Structure 1
Amino acid sequence: MTTPDGQPHVNGDAEAEATDSSPLSPDDGDIYLCQDGPRDAPALLLIHGTASSARSWDMLVPMLTGSHRVIRVDLLGHGRSAKPAADRGYETPEQGRRVSVELDRLGVKHAIVVGHSSGGAVATALTEQRPDLVTALALVNTGPSMDAYIAPESAASGPSQWPPTDEQIRQLASTGFGRADYEIPQEFVDDLRGMTYHAFAAVMRAGRAYLEQRALPDRLMVLGKPLLVIFGEEDRRWRSSSAADYRVVPGAKIELLPGVGHSPILEDPPRTAALLLAFTAAHAARAD
C-alpha cells in the first residue's frame, strides 16, 4: 500500500526491497500488498476474487515460495486496501492498472500472473495493458463470459442488510465451494464484512461489465501469452464445461479438477499448486 506521503509500503522484510517511483494520485487510494519468498526469484503475482483478499492464497503460498517471489495485493475495495466512496476506480481495467503501478514500484519487470475467479478478469486487463510486464497467465475458475454464469437462487443472491451477518455471508459464500457443507473460513467471512456496501456493489457491477463488453477468451487469443486454465468440476458459480471456451487461445492448457468447486486454492491447495508450479516452470525464465 502507499503511506500518507505517497511512498510504497509492503509487509515485513519486503519493505526494504520496495523501489521508489512516482506515487499514485490521491484519488487512487492506498493499496495493500505483501511479498513472500526470495526477492531474486521469478515474480509470481496472485490476484484474489470479489469479496476476498490476499489472505485467500495463504494455504497456497508456502508451496510456491521455494521457487518464486510471490506477490499478493488487496484490490481496491478489499481487505486492507482503500474503499473509496467515489464511483470511479473500481472498474476492472482500473484495478489492473493500479496493480501494474504497484509492480513498477517494486521494480518488477516481468511476472507470471495468477487470478482466481474475478481476479482472473483483473489479470486479463493487466495483461491487455502491460504485455511487457506479464509473461504468462493462469486463471483459476474464472468464467470466460456471462453465458457461463450460474444464476444464484434468489435467497442467496445477496445480503439483505449491510453489514451482513455471519449467517448471511456464509449463505452468500456457499456456492463458492464444491460441497454444500464446506466450512467457510472465518477469514472469508471477515473479508466480506470488511467491505463497504458501495465497494461490494461497484466491484460486482464492474466485473459483469467487463465480461459483457468482451469475453475473456476473445481478449486473450490476441495477446499471445501462455495460458493455463484451472477449473474445479463442481463449480456452482460458473459452468465448468465453459473452461473449454479458452481453447480458442493458441496453446492454452486446460485442467479440470474433479471433486473441487469454485475455490481450488482453498479446497485443494496441493493439486492447485502442483498445476501452477508445472506451468510456471516452463515460463518462469522470462519472469524476474
Structure 2
Amino acid sequence: MRRAPSPPPGPYVPPVPERELTAVSADGSRIHTELHGPEDAPAVVLAHGWVCSTAFWAPVLRALSADHRVILYDQRGHGRSPVPGPGGYSAEALADDLVAVVEAALPPGRRAVLAGHSMGAMTVMAAADRPMVRERAAAAVLCSTGASRLVERSRIVPLRSPRARARVHRLLLGSRAPMGPVTPLAKRLVRYVTMGPGTDPATVEVAARILHACPRVVRAEWGRVLADLELDARVRRLTTPTAVIVGTADRLTPPEHAHALAAALPHCTGLTELPGLGHMTPLEDPEAVTGVIRGLVEEYGTSRETDPPTSEARETDPPTSEAKEQTA
C-alpha cells in the first residue's frame, strides 16, 4: 500500500489508530478506514478532500480523539485506498464509500457528526438522500467547499473573462502532469493555490507533501468529476443540522460558495468565515474547525443509541433548533 511521506514532527504527525479496518463499497472498492479515541465516546466521521489523505486531518484528529470516537478514511484512490477501476470515479461512488465506512465502523444505533473538507464535504452532500445520512448523521460540517460551478467560480487563474478562466481551470483540474518533488517553488505554488498568504512554512510543507503523494491519474480523474459537479439539488435534501466553514482568502472554493450553501441548506446552524485563510482551513486553523465540530456534538449529541426516525417524521418534523450565526 502507498503511504504519504512522513510529515514534519509535531501536530501534523497522525496519531496511531486504535483500530484499522477495510470498508467495502457498493462496487467492491476497498476503503482504508481508521478508528481513534474511546469506543463509547461521541462519534465524528472525517472525510478529506481532493488529492489529500487521512494525514490531512492530523491536527483536528489530535484535538478530537481524546474524548471523541473519530472515524476517518482515505477516499478511493487516495492514501491507502486502492485506485478504482474504470467507471469508479463519480459523486455517487463517493456517497457509496461514505455509506460503507459508516456501516462498517459505527455500531448499529449510533449516530455521528459527519465533517467533510472540500471533496469530502461534497461527499456528504452527494449522500444527502441516502438513508444512512438521515438515520445515522446527528449533524454535518461542510468545510471549504461548493456544490456546483467550481470551475466558473474558482480564482486560481486571475483572468478577466469568466469563460476563459473556466476553461483554464477545467484544464488544470484534469491535468495528468507530474507534480514532481516538493521543492521551494512547489511550496510557493501550494501556498498560492490552497492557503492564505500568512500560512506558516511548516503548514505549507505538510500540505505540499500530502498533495504531491496523490497519484496523478487519481488527481486527474477526480478533477474531471469536480469540474462537472452539480449537487445543488442534493444540498436542499441535506436536512440534518449543518454548519458551513470557509476561509475568506479561499481561491479554490471562494466564499460565494459558502454563502450559497448556507442559503440553500434546510437547517444551517451557522456560517463561519475565517479571515485571511485559504482552502486548507483544517490545517490552517484546526482549533476553529475543531470548535465547530465540538459545538455540533454538544448540541445534537451522538454517543447515545438512537432509534432511526420514521419516514413521516423525516419529511415533516421542523428543525430542532434555531439557526445560529457563528463568526470567527
1:134-173 aligned at under 5 Å gives the runs: 134-146=137-149, 149-153=153-157, 157=172, 161-162=177-178, 164-167=180-183, 169-170=186-187, 172-173=189-190
1:190 equivalent to 2:209? Answer yes
Is the Cα contact below 8 Å between 2:194 and 2:250 reproduced in 1? yes
Q: Report the counterpart of residue 52 of structure 1 in structure 2.
A: 52
CA distance in 1, matches of 2:304, 2:273: 26
Is the Cα contact below 8 Å between 2:74 and 2:81 reproduced in 1? yes
The amino acid of 1:135's aligned partner reads A
Q: Report the counterpart of residue 129 of structure 2 in structure 1.
A: 128
Is the Cα contact below 8 Å between 1:83 and 1:195 reproduced in 2? no
Choose 265-274 or 113-122, whichever is displaced more: 265-274
Please state how far the C-alpha of 1:160 moved relative to its aligned partner: 7.4
1:229-240 aligned at under 5 Å gives the runs: 229-240=244-255
1:205-244 aligned at under 5 Å gives the runs: 205-211=224-230, 214-215=231-232, 218-244=233-259
Q: Report the counterpart of residue 75 of structure 2 in structure 1.
A: 75
TM-score between both structures, scaled by the size of structure 2: 0.72
Please provide the CA RMSD for this pair: 2.9
CA distance in 2, matches of 1:273, 1:173: 23
Unaligned runs of 5+ in 1: 2-10
CA distance in 1, matches of 2:227, 2:274: 25
SS in 1 for 2:115: strand
CA distance in 2, matches of 1:229, 1:135: 15
Please state how far the C-alpha of 1:182 moved relative to its aligned partner: 4.8
SS in 2 for 1:128: coil
1:104-119 aligned at under 5 Å gives the runs: 104-109=103-108, 110-119=111-120
Choose 241-250 or 33-42, whichever is displaced more: 241-250
Q: Report the counterpart of residue 266 of structure 2 in structure 1.
A: 250
Choose 241-250 or 183-192, whichever is displaced more: 183-192
The amino acid of 1:97's aligned partner reads D
* Alpha carbons of structure 1 residues 127 and 172: separation in structure 2 relative to 1, 3 Å: farther
Please state how far the C-alpha of 1:101 moved relative to its aligned partner: 1.3
* Alpha carbons of structure 1 residues 146 and 287: separation in structure 2 relative to 1, 3 Å: farther
CA distance in 2, matches of 1:235, 1:283: 29
Aligned residues, how many? 269
Q: Report the counterpart of residue 179 of structure 1 in structure 2.
A: 197
Is the Cα contact below 8 Å between 1:38 and 1:68 reproduced in 2? yes
* Alpha carbons of structure 1 residues 241 and 210: separation in structure 2 relative to 1, 3 Å: closer
Please state how far the C-alpha of 1:76 moved relative to its aligned partner: 0.5
* Alpha carbons of structure 1 residues 99 and 223: separation in structure 2 relative to 1, 3 Å: closer
Q: Report the counterpart of residue 273 of structure 1 in structure 2.
A: 290
CA distance in 2, matches of 1:12, 1:256: 31
Percent identity over paired residues:
24
Please state how far the C-alpha of 1:127 moved relative to its aligned partner: 3.0
Structure with larger Rg? 2
CA distance in 2, matches of 1:92, 1:51: 15
CA distance in 1, matches of 2:25, 2:286: 34
CA distance in 2, matches of 1:114, 1:177: 20
The amino acid of 1:250's aligned partner reads P
CA distance in 2, matches of 1:78, 1:225: 28
Is the Cα contact below 8 Å between 1:143 and 1:149 reproduced in 2? no
Residue-by-residue CA offset, 1:190-239 (whole Å, 9 max, x unaligned): 3333332221111111223333xx32xx4222332101001111112222
Q: Report the counterpart of residue 283 of structure 1 in structure 2.
A: 300
Residue-by-residue CA offset, 1:20-41 (whole Å, 9 max, x unaligned): 99x557x633321111111111
Please state how far the C-alpha of 1:279 moved relative to its aligned partner: 2.1
